[in-house]
Homo-oligomer: A and B are copies of this chain.
């Protein structure tokens, strides 16, 4: 599991493969070919094989891949054998929706803290997690071993809370705010920008036709 520079596109596809394999396993399928995976995801079979080749040999020629085995390997590759503790920063509309959303409460990830500046929101119970005051951020991060911080505060506050997360030792940030964030190189950052997504659609609508 070495393989130094893995393209981000590959990692994204791997996580989609893992989801499809999970579905196949539920459906009782035992083996699958790169071609079948490719079709279900909408890429080429060569792409699938190449993505997997970064990490080893998981199939048998002439046969394909054993679903449970490949899924196990992808789970290891993606680091999903352990549980990652999450904190949501900002219990507004988006933050609470994410807290309640099932898609976020899945194997491998556990929402352990939700914080907000607004005292009216403190004390609310969101699917079993009680909203704490923002002051307690650093304490909670340490006490609950938070590894991923999810930013759902307004743009104006986003950098400030991110700095606090980073200073408190959180190694990964998922940013939902419409704000470019600065983090030191050892911190992993991903952006989910809803406005940008709409603008990209707008661009394509304006030019494709």
Residue positions of A touching B, CB distance < 8 A: 6, 8, 11-12, 14-16, 18-20, 40-42, 77-80, 84, 86, 93-94, 96-98, 100-104, 106, 108-109, 147-148, 171-172, 174, 178, 180, 182, 186, 188, 190, 192-209
Contact = CB atoms under 8 A, between A and B. Distances in A.
Contacts of A205: 79, 84, 147-148, 171-172, 188
B195 A19 contact: yes
A201 B146 CA distance: 13
A-B pairs, top 3 by smallest CB distance, nearest first, are: A79-B206, A97-B97, A15-B199
Query: Chain copies in the assembly?
Result: 2
A148 B79 CA distance: 35
Contact of A94 (B101, B109, B171): B101
Nearest to A96: B97
A110 B42 CA distance: 31
Contacts of A206: 78-79
A157 B186 CA distance: 39
Given A171-B205, A208-B186, A209-B171, A178 B103 contact: yes
Given A94-B103, A188-B205, 9 more contacts: A15-B196, A16-B180, A79-B203, A80-B199, A94-B101, A172-B201, A172-B204, A186-B209, A188-B201
Contacts of A109: 198, 202
A147 to B, nearest CB: 6
B106 A195 contact: yes
A192 B199 contact: no
Contacts of A174: 197-198, 201
Contacts of A86: 198
A78 B188 contact: no
Instruction: Determine which residue in A84, A109, A174, A197 has the highest number of CB atoms from chain B within 10 A of its CB, and name it.
Output: A197
